[in-house]
């Protein structure tokens, strides 16, 4: 993010935000309710435009077509009778943007999930 600003009307959530996250780094976003944590995620997912500034994910614009990021929402409707293991949830970060379970490239998917769990 460069010079990022997000406001709703006259209410400014954040302004002048410069943020770089490099491959392999982890970031915790902490703050009180209403401070813009979820809004920041929505910007990174391409669901919310910035009021000013620019944002890129691995050199590309954020959005549904950007497969370089995985996101598992905090709350999501899942059939209560569906049994999911931890590794299944980690796998949703790889292919959760597609409908159904990840069946393409099963060996590669399994390798990536195992690597993430090992980290």
State pLDDT tens for residues 3-49: 999 999 999 999 999 999 888 888 888 988 888 888 998 898 888 99
Would you say residue 38 lies in a domain?
A: yes
- State whether residue 109 is helix, strand or coil: helix
pLDDT score at 77: 66
Would you say residue 34 lies in a domain?
A: yes
State pLDDT tens for residues 49-86: 999 999 998 888 887 666 667 666 666 666 778 787 88
| Radius of gyration for the chain, computed over Cα atoms and rounded to the nearest angstrom | 16
pLDDT score at 60: 84
Residues in the chain: 119
| Close Cβ partners of 84 (under 8 Å, ≥ 6 residues apart) | 78
Residue 102 has pLDDT above 80, yes or no: no
Residues 8 and 48 placed together within one structural domain of the fold: yes
DSSP string, 40-99: HHHHHTTSS--SEEE--BTTB--STT-TT-----SS----TT----HHHHHHHHHHTTSS
Would you say residue 20 lies in a domain?
A: yes
21: phi then psi, degrees, rounded to nearest 5 = -125, 120
Would you say residue 77 lies in a domain?
A: no
Would you say residue 17 lies in a domain?
A: yes
Tokens of 117: 């769990």
Would you say residue 78 lies in a domain?
A: no
> Which residue range forms the structural domain that includes residue 9?
2-54
What total number of domains does the chain contain? 2
pLDDT score at 12: 93
Residues 93 and 50 placed together within one structural domain of the fold: no
Would you say residue 23 lies in a domain?
A: yes
Nearest to 56 by CA among 117, 111, 2: 2
pLDDT score at 6: 95
Question: Which residue did the predictor score with more confidence, 96 or 93?
Answer: 93
pLDDT score at 40: 92
**Do residues 7 and 13 make contact, with C-beta atoms less than 8 angstroms apart?**
yes
pLDDT score at 92: 77
């Amino acid at each position: 993010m460069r010079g990022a600003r997000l406001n709703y009307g006259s209410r400014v959530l954040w302004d002048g935000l410069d943020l770089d996250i490099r491959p392999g780094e982890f970031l915790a976003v902490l703050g009180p309710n209403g401070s813009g944590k979820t809004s920041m995620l929505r910007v990174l997912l391409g669901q919310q435009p910035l009021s000013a500034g620019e944002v890129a994910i691995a050199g590309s614009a954020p959005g549904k077509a950007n497969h370089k990021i995985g996101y598992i929402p905090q709350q999501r409707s899942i059939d209560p009778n569906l049994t999911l293991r931890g590794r299944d949830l980690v796998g949703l970060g790889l292919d959760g943007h597609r409908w159904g379970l990840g069946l393409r490239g099963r060996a590669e998917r399994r390798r990536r999930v195992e690597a993430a769990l090992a980290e």
